[in-house]
Amino acid sequence: MVTSKLRLDRIASSTRNARLGPEVLIGPEIVSEEGRIIAVRIGSDKAVYNQVEDPTGRLIRLRSGDVLAGVLGARRALRGYEGEVPKTLASGDTIEVLNLGGVLGRCTAGNPDLGPPFTAEVLGAVLTFPRTGDRIGSPATIRDQAVPMADRLVDGPPIVAVIGTCMDAGKTVAAAAVIRGLSRSGLRVAGVKLTGVSLRRDALAMLDAGAVEALTFTDAGVVSTDDTAALPTAFGLLNELARSTKPDVIVAEFGDGILGEYGVARLLENPELVERVGAIVCCAPDQVGAWGAVEILRTTFGLTPTVISGPATDNEVGCRFIRNRLALPAANARAGDGALAAIVKGAL
């Protein structure tokens, strides 16, 4: 295999497990499967949705001609792009950037708010050299050095499940508010994002709020969760946090919506996981979303939220509907009064 040295202009956060430096070796033989790290050259400019998150969590502008290391993966976002991993891929092929985390794939559906995705020329597979003296290398993958998946949950602390109707329903803001409030009350809190598509931003928000550690499914070598990967990935991450940080409670954000395609339903229907859940924060954008989420949780999963949050609680109109029509507490995560965390702590 002919290899060549390449200097990277941008390193996406989705590659974080591989701990890449600015200079890498690439090879022409590409394994076209989720989790493989490839180098591409950006072929277009964009006025919106034109950044990539680096491994530290910083958003950096992408421009035409930039050489980017990203990860092959799928995306199935309601308010973003949909895309898949091509069945085959070779140097010189064109591929698209599907999200801010640097997930690369073939875009199958766009979004009018974001415009067309970045197009990029495939340069080659980023190589890794795990063994001393290895001069050939092998295609890098984020499954190396990943948190192991698991088929069972070990004993651990109670879980606060933060779920929502869809992406951008206020889940991360709510998770951060709960972490901040519980931490200030003296509890040792860990955070985790269990489902979604690779992006480190939400875990960093948990750390900023006071979490002693925050992981995402990408730490387990998963680019995008689905019905198959969601449960063993979640078990692995929850086990790792229980073992490594010994928290009093774990705040777990279930990325995307209850009815989305990232595997949230698989988690909510699992008795072993649900038994550990001590409180459910349900985020919704409006009254209809709040009503629908409560109805689905009760009739499909046999669950009742502890509290409703999200934009539906931004003023008294929504809060009154939740209290009077749904007979549930309402607490706004952006209010800064600690009410959301207090309700959760009471439930725990």
CA distance 252 to 241: 11
In a domain, 145, yes or no: no
Is 162 strand, coil or helix? strand
Same domain, 125 and 249: no
Same domain (yes/no): 339, 268: yes
How many structural domains compose the chain? 2
Side-chain half-sphere CA neighbours of 281 within 13 A = 36
CATH code for the domain in which residue 308 is found: 3.40.50.300
Q: Are residues 193 and 124 in the same domain?
A: no
113 and 196 assigned to the same domain: no
Last residue of a domain, one of 107, 139, 171: 139
What local confidence, expressed as pLDDT, does residue 132 receive?
53
Output the pLDDT for position 135.
65
Residues 116 and 233 in one domain: no
Segment 63-67 long-range contacts (CB within 8 Å, at least 24 positions apart): 65/41, 66/9, 66/10, 66/41, 66/42, 67/6, 67/7, 67/8, 67/9, 67/10, 67/39, 67/40, 67/41, 67/42, 67/123
Q: Please give the pLDDT value at position 3.
A: 82
Hey, what are 71's tokens? 């990860």
Asked if 126 and 261 sit in the same domain, the reply is no
Asked if residue 63 is part of any domain, the answer here is yes
Domain span including residue 222: 159-347
Provide the pLDDT for residue 110. 86
Q: Is 151 a member of any domain? A: no
Q: Count of residues for the chain? A: 348
The identity of residue 48, as a single letter, is: V
Q: Give pLDDT tens digits along the chain (348 positions).
A: 578 899 999 999 999 999 999 999 999 989 999 999 999 999 999 999 999 999 999 999 999 999 999 999 999 888 889 999 999 999 999 999 999 999 999 999 988 889 899 999 999 999 987 665 556 778 999 999 999 999 999 999 999 999 999 888 999 999 999 999 999 999 999 999 999 999 999 999 999 999 999 999 999 999 999 999 999 999 999 999 999 999 999 999 999 899 989 999 999 999 999 999 999 999 999 999 999 999 999 999 999 999 999 999 999 999 999 999 999 999 999 998 899 999 999 999
Task: Please tell me whether residues 191 and 73 are part of one structural domain.
Answer: no
| Furthest-apart CA atoms within the chain: distance in Å | 69
